[in-house]
Amino acid sequence: MAGTAVRGRLTWQVATVAAVADETGSVRTIWLDLPDWPGHQAGQHLDVRLTADDGYQAERSYSIASANGEPVAITVERLDDGEVSPYLTQELRPGDQMEVRGPIGTWFTWGPDDGGPLLLVAGGSGVVPLRAILRHRQRSGSSVPARLLYSSRSLEDVIYRQELDQYRGSAEVRYTLTRRQPPAWGGFAGRVDDAMLARIAWPAAERPLAFICGPTPFVEAVAGLLVARQYPENRVKTERFGGA
């Protein structure tokens, strides 16, 4: 992962939870108060370290959900067999503390000077860093065209749905629901495939910049489809996650 070499030079600092908000039944956004935070770029991530009373420690990496200049936030999806996510999504309260290290990574970042047009493709909680990019694009006043294709199990599982719906008009946001669609659903259905990308992806001739984030099989499949559509590999940026 980009930025791994830098990680060793970063130091842990204590973060205080400023606020929490549930995004879906299994996803929570956590805002952190970090007095010594150096600032971050949209698309970066950070490490979280929790220490139990008996000294046992667990570390996980989470994408930063907030844009440049905004308070640091992470959005965590609960994994029922996870060591860290159940605590963060169910037990953590404002005022609690944990250790944080970051920001980390530069490959998956975007700023207005990087141009576009932007094609953002998310699978599940992979929408988190792409949301940060959309927020940064809006806050910076960028006119770079942007499209988000977001694959989710159902409409109820769409993270940041209210916020993402508000981008329509300034950015094109499309959902594909893989397991359950509501009656009279007008969006896409099923997994992202070449036919779907043919309807939403920018033509390769326009030199689009693609960001893909989600589970490893999802990311590899979408990246392969875009390269097959003549997207240059160095303009297809990927971030992936899997089981702990």
With a cut of 80, say whether residue 159 has pLDDT above it. Answer: yes
Report the C-alpha gap between 237 and 244 in whole angstroms: 22
4-104 and 112-241 share one fold = no
Fold classification of 112-241 (topology level): Rossmann fold (3.40.50)
SS3 57: strand
Report the C-alpha gap between 50 and 35 in whole angstroms: 19
Strand order across the beta sheet in which 57-63 lies: 57-63, 45-51, 97-104, 13-22, 27-33, 73-77
Report the C-alpha gap between 113 and 143 in whole angstroms: 11
As beta bridge partners, residue 175 has: 150
Reported as a pLDDT band with limits 50, 70 and 90, residue 10 is confident
What rounded mean pLDDT belongs to the chain? 93
Q: Which residues contact 37 (CB under 8 A, 6 or more apart)?
A: 13, 72
Domain ranges within the chain, ordered by starting residue: 4-104, 112-241
Question: For 4-104, CATH number?
Answer: 2.40.30.10
pLDDT at 3: 38
With a cut of 60, say whether residue 6 has pLDDT above it. Answer: no
Strand order across the beta sheet in which 172-177 lies: 188-189, 172-177, 146-152, 118-123, 209-215, 236-241
pLDDT digits (tens, 9 = 90+) for 63-93: 999 999 999 999 999 998 899 999 999 999 9
Report the C-alpha gap between 118 and 149 in whole angstroms: 11
pLDDT digits (tens, 9 = 90+) for 170-229: 999 999 999 999 999 999 999 999 999 999 999 999 999 999 999 999 999 999 999 999
